[in-house]
Amino acid sequence: MLDTGSSPAAAGAAPAPRHLQPTLDDVGTPLSQVTFVVVDLETTGGTPTTAAITEIGAVKVRGGEVLGEFQTLVDPGVPVPPFIAALTGITTSMVRTAPRIEQVLPSFLEFIRGAVLVAHNAPFDIGFLEAAARQHGYDWPGNQVVDTVALARRAVTRDEVPNHKLATLAAFFRTAVAPEHRALSDARATVDVLHGVLARLGPLGITHLEDLATAADPVPPARRRKRHLADGLPDAPGVYQFRGANGEVLYVGTATSIRNRVRSYFTAAEHRRRMNEMVGLAEQVVPIVCGTVLEARVRELRLIAETSPRYNRRSRAPERLPWVRLTAEPYPRLSVVRQVRPDGGPRPGEAEAHIGPFAGQAAAQAALEALEATFRLRQCTRRLPRTPAPGASACALADMGRCGAPCVGGQSEAEYAEVVAQVRHAMLVDPTPVVEVHAARIRALTAAERFEEAAEWRDRLEAFLRGAARAQRSRRIAAHAQLVAARPHGDGGWEIVVVRHGRLCATVTTPPGADPRPAVDALLATAEEAPPPTLPASAAHPEETDIVLRWLEQPDVRLIEVGEGWACPVRGAEAYRHRPGDGASPLAAALRRVSDGHAPSAA
């Protein structure tokens, strides 16, 4: 069942305590257990394209203990420039008998296997090493890289040091070895700088390997200290709720991995001001694991509508979304309404005409204007009598030819009814008249170089088409009491959904190779009930219906059952068989056939 109140977490209660020991995936790897290889190079110049390596020095450490060292001179194949020799003390005669870089790389790559690489100004050192490996046909292992320059900028302020050069930081942290532009001594000094920087970052929440990826981000300390809210969250699809001190739901989101998504809120990747403010108020994160991504998206919408979180911008009140309605009165007109309730009902044999809902009032008004620009429909808001009143006068729209003026007898009731029928047909069935009128007007305005006016007509047409399409799609799926569909998932499994009147009522994923029929029977027995909608829409939030329709219209979705009693001729496992190359989803054609009173063709 998808009822958001069916679980304590969804209903607002605090999650039940967990007494299981968390795994390393849950809490991360403590820095004391990480193996670092601190590396430093000496080169003949500043870029790998014009210079070569003359010396490599590296120190392997874990938990403050030195595990090994690596040092060698390297023959660059060219003379060492005099200024480099003066700076480093490495001369051409010193490297003439040294091994070439292609001879050094195999042992160096073995030395760094499985370790996190550390360097001071890491892009320089790692860039040279990657270029050398690529040039000589070695695969670069892609170790995680930590730059002590970036870390030091977060840990040591300019009030404490004038710059973040290695020599300056070595003096500040009183390293055991002073850097002297030789690879091994500089690597040893960088080890002490690394330990000093990490000691300062610990109180800011940088305590695990996973934290280092964003440790250099310009994140306020107060937000970074909230990093613990992500501890223990599941690495699974679902919904997450940020809650405040009094249990108030501040924000609801969805993710394919709850843990990874929540962690991102405490890094520089999250720069929205409202989200920063929300994280500052949050005291806990409540996860709701979902079986499928589809279920997660639907749960998110329902929880937003149920709890109205103040930091969610998505629609929290679908009942207040605007519609464009053709009124039911002797001389109907168009109006924008918030609640779709018949006020007298349609004429005999005619359907109530509504399109939408729209995202906002402006979009609804634009769609209304598109219809009024196409058809000679009255635009006055007063209710007209069947017989024109004596002395009645028409408005300016009649003089401009944009209204048939039924208020003064310009059109009879029958003639006006024909215009209304055309409007209703454009809203509910075929928008071609609206498209043709707007296309012609846009071409004329563009030819006259009146581009701003052309854009206004284009925007009105787009708003109308979006609203009409949404209403038609929702109306079609809402007419069916039940849809059962399946989609291939993973290696031989199926994602199965039950939809009733446009509302997602159940979903499950079957294991690879398992017979899906028992899963379908169980879903149908336990699926949420969805009564027929009383409005010209589905029984669900409009955005939920859109999400469900997008899922159903995927090319690899197979319809298992349409409506109560409408079963596909192909039964059993054959109905679930995925046949690549079948083309588009059969949903639209099947629904049309069912709407016409025919059984759907085999999926």
Task: Kindly report each contact of residues 339-348 with a partner whose C-beta sits within 8 Å and lies 24 or more positions away, as own/partner.
Answer: 340/535, 340/536, 340/537, 341/535, 347/417
pLDDT of res. 573? 28
CA–CA distance, 166 with 180 (Å, rounded to integer)? 10
E-strand spans in 94-237? 116-119, 145-147
| Cα 444 versus chain centre, distance | 40
End-to-end CA distance of the chain: give it in Å, rounded.
26
pLDDT of res. 189? 96
Helix (H) or strand (E) holding 88, with range, is helix 82-88
Are 205 and 230 a contacting pair, CB within 8 Å?
no
Neighbours of 414 (CB within 10 A): 7
Distances (CA, A) of 275 to 266, 278, 501: 10, 5, 35
403: left (phi > 0), else alpha (psi -120 to 50), else beta? beta
Task: Please name the residues in contact with 580: beta carbons below 8 A apart, sequence gap of 6 or more.
Answer: none
Tell me if residue 208 is catalytic.
no
Q: Which two tokens stand for residue 72?
A: 């060698």
Task: Please name the residues in contact with 356: beta carbons below 8 A apart, sequence gap of 6 or more.
Answer: 321, 322, 323, 324, 364, 367, 467, 470, 471
CA–CA distance, 286 with 277 (Å, rounded to integer)? 18
Are 471 and 356 a contacting pair, CB within 8 Å?
yes
**Which residue among the candidates 19, 181, 438, 541 is catalytic per the annotation?**
181
pLDDT of res. 532? 73
Q: What are the mean pLDDT values of the chain's consecutive 10-residue runs (603 residues total)?
A: 45 41 54 95 92 96 94 95 93 94 95 95 95 93 92 88 94 94 95 94 81 69 80 91 93 92 79 83 94 90 88 70 84 80 45 78 92 84 62 57 58 78 88 91 93 93 89 80 86 87 88 86 86 61 83 87 48 33 38 37 35
pLDDT of res. 202? 85
CA–CA distance, 129 with 241 (Å, rounded to integer)? 44
pLDDT of res. 208? 83
Would you report the helix, strand and coil content of the chain in percent, each value rounded to 5? 40, 15, 45
The domains located in the chain, with CATH, are 8-14+219-316 (3.40.1440.10), 31-207 (3.30.420.10), 326-474 (no CATH), 479-595 (no CATH)
User: Residues 546, 549, 552, CA angle at the centre, nearest 5°?
Assistant: 155
Are 465 and 440 a contacting pair, CB within 8 Å?
no
Q: Which two tokens stand for residue 351?
A: 């359907």
Q: Which amino acid is at 12?
A: G
CA–CA distance, 281 with 497 (Å, rounded to integer)? 37
pLDDT of res. 327? 83
